Amino acid sequence: MADSTTNTKPLNANVTNDFYFSNYKKPTKQTGNSDLGKDAFLKLLITQLQHQDPTNPMDDREFISQMAQFSSLEQMQNMTKAMESLLTSQQQTQLMSYTTFVGKEVKWHELTDKKDEKGKPVINEGTGTIKSVKFVEGNAVFVLTDGKEITPGNISAILGSSSDKGVTESPLVQASKLIGKNVKYKEGEQELQGRIVSVTTKDGVTHYVLDNDKKLTDKDFTVISE
């Protein structure tokens, strides 16, 4: 019986230039988060430095280039966080501005599925006083005293007087107008209620403190009423 001979080649313990970022190719199929965050970027750079070939170290210019990429990535992530915070603050300001409509008499309109003799959609119109505001998936819905529900886009005109017209107030000042208002919110499957007794703000986010010591944001409210 003939002997079988297996050819073996010695493993090269040196790390080649294939470990440089410039030669790294992104796999075509990935699972999980595909974004390279700054922490992962820094770990990859440290690993590269630890395993580089001492006889063929990384070029200074390439190292500086990679550090510049790291700095740019960090700045982009910080900018993204700042933009998200600004967007959240703007949304809160808009939602809180709707609460000033409570108690106002408004004229409203809405399209129906019906059509007139000319084939044009029939528009229902009416007037009513806004009794409360509720938030459905972050959108404001006005509840009139007769039970009618409308959205901001349904309002044609505000018939009641509006104070401080044209004055731009800070989110905290607008939020303070809700002090004394009754609100409903969900906690698990239960819908609870309470009365706002104070307002605080931190990092651009407004919190409302209820009489039961519960602290909420405007996104937690389902109904705001007198």
Contact criterion met (CB below 8 Å) for 102 and 132:
yes
The secondary structure of residue 114, as a DSSP letter, is E
The answer to whether residue 14 scores a pLDDT higher than 60 is no
Residue 217 included in any domain? yes
Side chain identity, residue 202: K
Greatest Cα pair distance in the chain: 106
Task: Spell out a b/e string for 58-86, using b for 16 or more CB atoms within 10 Å of the CB, else e.
Answer: beeeeeeebeeeeeebeeeeeeeeeeeee
Average predicted confidence (pLDDT) for the chain: 72
Provide the residue range defining the domain that includes 182: 97-225
**What is the length of the chain?**
226
**Looking at the DSSP assignment, which residues form a beta bridge with residue 93?**
none
Strand segments (E) across the chain: 105-115, 121-136, 139-144, 149-150, 155-158, 182-187, 190-202, 205-210, 215-216, 221-225
Q: How many domains does the chain have?
A: 1
Least confident piece of the model among 23-27, 122-126, 194-198: 23-27
How much is the pLDDT for 26? 47
pLDDT digits (tens, 9 = 90+) for 128-173: 888 888 877 767 888 998 989 988 888 888 876 444 444 456 677 7
- pLDDT value, residue 12: 46
Specify the pLDDT at position 31: 47
Task: Decide: residue 134, CB within 10 A, 0-12 exposed, 13-18 middle, 19+ buried.
Answer: middle
Measured distance CA(70)–CA(61) in Å, rounded: 14
The long-range contacts involving 70-78, CB below 8 angstroms and separated by at least 24 positions, are: 70/38, 70/41, 70/42, 70/45, 73/36, 73/37, 73/38, 73/41, 74/38, 77/37, 77/38
Quote the pLDDT of residue 218.
Answer: 78
pLDDT band at 11 (very low <50, low <70, confident <90, very high): very low
Q: Rounded to an integer, what distance in angstroms lies between the CA atom of residue 87 and that of residue 80?
A: 11
pLDDT score for 220: 83
Query: How does pLDDT run across 35-82, given as a tens digit for each residue?
Result: 555 666 667 767 776 766 666 666 656 666 766 776 777 777 777 777
Asked, for residue 164, whether it belongs to a domain, the answer is: yes
pTM of the model: 0.39
Q: What is the pLDDT of residue 122?
A: 81
Residue 118 lies in a domain: yes
pLDDT at 222 over 60: yes
Please tell me the predicted confidence (pLDDT) of residue 19. 45
